[in-house]
Amino acid sequence: MKIRTRYAPSPTGKMHVGNLRTALYEFLIAKHEGGDFMLRIEDTDQERFVEGAIDIINRTLEKTGLTHDEGPDKDGGYGPYVQSERVKTGIYMKYAKELIDKGEAYYCFCDKERLATLKTEVVEGKEISIYDKHCLGLSKEEVEANLAAGKPFVVRQNIPNEGSTTFKDELYGDITVDNAELDDMILIKSDGYPTYNFANVVDDHTMNITHVVRGNEYISSSPKYQRLYDAFGWESPVYIHLPLITDENHKKLSKRSGHSSFEDLLEQGFVTEAIVNFIALLGWSPEDNREIFSLDELIKEFDYHRISKSPAVFDIVKLRWMNGEYLKAMDFDTFYEMAEPFIKQTIKKDLDLKKIANMVKTRIEVFPDIAEHVDFFEELPEYDIAMYTHKKMKTDAASSLQVLKDVLPVLEAQDDYSNDALYQTLLKYVEEKGVKNGYVMWPIRTAVSGKQMTPAGATEIMEVLGKEESIKRIKKGIELLDSAAAV
């Protein structure tokens, strides 16, 4: 049998990495077996609907490559299934009535006031009450009369107070709950819309979903869904509940975490492939120790039996590392295309940006890191002459001054400012003096960059800077060291 999964988000805002991972796993589970992956928008809560949220979902899935296989025709492609559209067909009410006829559900006319009189318990600021099945006792005539009178109603699932219900999760095994723990949940709301609890079962069945994959938070309501399947006489799907993704405090990811949504991560300079790769490994691991996977490779390797049961902390430090791996592996042209805007943010001068990009490629983890690496090209920063002193290079202010003075005329005389030529020239000086490379390179690099660390060596920097600017900076260094020595 062909596997069919679905991603069923509610359009209430940005797409969390948790949501994205759910979509990814659903996609991978289907594709690994050559199955189909569907998209279904769960917008039955009109109050929480956020304008533009569906666009975000579409954009994200498209960008990450999680394209769905089926849906209503739309602009030459597939649109998602949309629950609010399906409501218009009367499908949910039809199935609700079927349950009512079977005695598995019933009309409830209780208003807010009556509901408020139910025995409630306050735990941690939340009111907890269990519906008392009051309307289950209504006679057929009373129900008909209420309906005829246009009295607002909801439809509730009728769950017995005795016995227990069991469902099977592929990862967690059999989970059994006493029926007394299960509230008579609302299936159809008074506005005529189904609740998620009902729509999800009806849709998954009518869409022939074979594997229901969703977050852990649904595990405790799954027995209720199982009762629905049983009541209808439908075969239940394979359930796969996914462990949570938490923040560094082991709390559910919140918007405030700042790095919790896919779009936020893109803004922070992460590349799509790295994000997808990273979240794939948050709750799943392959048989070998491999960590770098393209989407196609994930499809090939993904075995849902290896999904973990315990929650995973979203570690942005490791994501940064992985992003860096992607940048290093990227071909230069692609890298340059993406890096250029970031370089141009700090460098306005007419310099060889490609050379700069190349210097930085193996040194950054995310694009915004570029700025701190290249700012000195634009302008020589103020620096302390203490920077000339380096224990390992055996340099200090005096030796540096000497080196710079010695080397200046040579560099002034030289016209070839290519990295190679400069390096050869300086090497000659190193040999003459019988010192270590660093002994002369360190002060020069310090003078031309004004920085402790640079993305390239002295000669490479000079190559990019050009003769005029390089000489200027070296003179500046001599000046600084001279005036300090004079004191």
- The answer to the question of residue 429 lying near RNA (CB under 7 A) is no
What is the distance between the alpha carbons of residues 359 and 364, in angstroms, rounded to a whole number?
10
Alpha helices, DSSP H only, in 180-315?
Answer: 196-206, 222-232, 262-267, 272-280, 295-301
What is the distance between the alpha carbons of residues 458 and 303, in angstroms, rounded to a whole number?
50
Q: Which residues inside 178-197 make contact with RNA, applying CB under 7 A?
A: 178, 181, 183, 185-186, 189-191, 193, 195-197
Binding residues for RNA, how many (CB under 7 A)?
Answer: 92
Question: Is residue 255 annotated as part of the catalytic site, yes or no?
Answer: yes
In the list 58, 146, 216, 272, the residue contacting RNA (rule: CB under 7 A) is 216
Pairing of strands 211-215, 238-242: parallel
The region of 30-38, 71-79, 243-251, 293-301 touching RNA under the rule CB under 7 A is 243-251
Contact criterion met (CB below 8 Å) for 87 and 192: yes
Amino acid at 387: M
Question: Annotated catalytic residue: which of 255, 309, 328, 428?
Answer: 255
Using a 10 angstrom Cβ sphere, with 0-12 exposed, 13-18 middle and 19 or more buried, the burial of residue 382 is: exposed
- The answer to the question of residue 387 lying near RNA (CB under 7 A) is no
- The answer to the question of residue 457 lying near RNA (CB under 7 A) is yes
Q: Which residues inside 117-136 make contact with RNA, applying CB under 7 A?
A: 121, 123-124, 126-130
Q: Which residues inside 255-314 make contact with RNA, applying CB under 7 A?
A: 281-285, 287, 289, 291, 306, 308-313
Residues 6+ apart with CB under 8 A from 258: 264
Residue indicated by tokens 């209504």: 138
User: Taking the complex as a whole, how short is the minimal distance between the CB of residue 340 and RNA, in angstroms?
Assistant: 20
Taking the chain, what is the end-to-end CA distance rounded to the nearest angstrom? 87
Identify the H or E element spanning 7: strand 4-7
User: What's the sign of the alpha-carbon dihedral 468, 472, 477, 483?
Assistant: positive
- The answer to the question of residue 244 lying near RNA (CB under 7 A) is yes
Whichever of 266 and 313 has its CB closer to RNA, that residue is 313
User: Taking the complex as a whole, how short is the minimal distance between the CB of residue 487 and RNA, in angstroms?
Assistant: 27
User: Taking the complex as a whole, how short is the minimal distance between the CB of residue 486 and RNA, in angstroms?
Assistant: 28
- The answer to the question of residue 251 lying near RNA (CB under 7 A) is yes
Q: What character string, x for contact with RNA (CB under 7 A) and - otherwise, covers 61-100?
A: ----------------------------------------
Whichever of 77 and 245 has its CB closer to RNA, that residue is 245
- The answer to the question of residue 149 lying near RNA (CB under 7 A) is no
- Enter the DSSP assignment of 137: G
Whichever of 223 and 295 has its CB closer to RNA, that residue is 223
Whichever of 90 and 483 has its CB closer to RNA, that residue is 90
The tokens for 400 are: 């540096």
What residues are annotated to the active site? 255
